[in-house]
Amino acid sequence: MEKVIIKSILREGKGKEKVKKIRRKGFIPAIVYSRNFNLPVELPLSSMKILKSIHFSENTIIEMEVDGYDDKDNRLNVLIKDVQYDPLREEVIHIDFMRVSLDEKVKVKIPIVLKGESKGVKEGGVSEQIMWDVTVEALPLDIPDKIEVDISPLAIGDTIHIVDLKISEKVRILASPEDAIVTVVAKEEEVVASEEVASAESAEPEVIKEKPKEEKEEKEKEEEKK
């Protein structure tokens, strides 16, 4: 995986007013953290454009240059862990980054993307994707952008499981080998129109018919005797 490079500025001061000032000048407040590490930063518009171009992917290694960070190397390798949006304007208002070491394995979710049209679909079946992403463990630069699954050989009744995935030996999938990813099933038969009519008729309320005249007169005589 190639690294994405962005710039940031060390953020000084805390509190809501400070954050509001940062946003007013067009920057986005953010935090970079790891074990025993916490660094507040702010991101310029140029960096936000880059992050938007990768759709704020949580499995992309980002090399962040921090202006004002007093260290031997002011470049940090990070992953996006959380993006907060304004509920009304749907704009990004804060980002959490996790600092990572390129020499230590990390656990991230990566998307599963289906390729091709299955044989079963061409025969009238339906393709059902059950798993859309999966958690993997690998060194940061060995993390794939996605896992592609070719479904073209699948006939009706066939299923692809985790164990069937073809992936680098450097990447370990953290899921059961028997977990289903995609399956092809037959279409459900449509209900026959006549059956619908019969069902509707059976649901109609019963009509109570008037009793015969003789039975009515006999009942009236019994009433008079009482």
Only one residue has tokens 């069937």, namely 164
Nearest to 75 by CA among 20, 176, 4: 4
Residue, of 213 and 7, whose pLDDT is higher: 7
Q: The domain at 107-186 falls in which architecture?
A: Beta Complex (2.170)
| Domain 4-100 top-level CATH class | mainly beta
Cβ proximity of 63 and 4 under 8 Å: yes
Amino acid at 66: V
Per-domain residue ranges for the chain? Answer: 4-100, 107-186
Please give the model's pTM, rounded to 2 decimal places.
0.72
**Which residues, including other chains, have CB under 8 Å from residue 68's CB and lie 6 or more apart?**
9, 10
Over the stretch 65-122, which tens digit does the pLDDT of each residue have?
Answer: 999 887 667 889 999 999 999 988 889 999 999 999 999 999 999 999 999 999 999 9
Closest listed residue to residue 127, CA positions, set 182, 66, 62, 191: 182
Q: How many CA atoms lie within 13 A of 186 on its CB side?
A: 4
Tokens, residue 93 = 């208002």
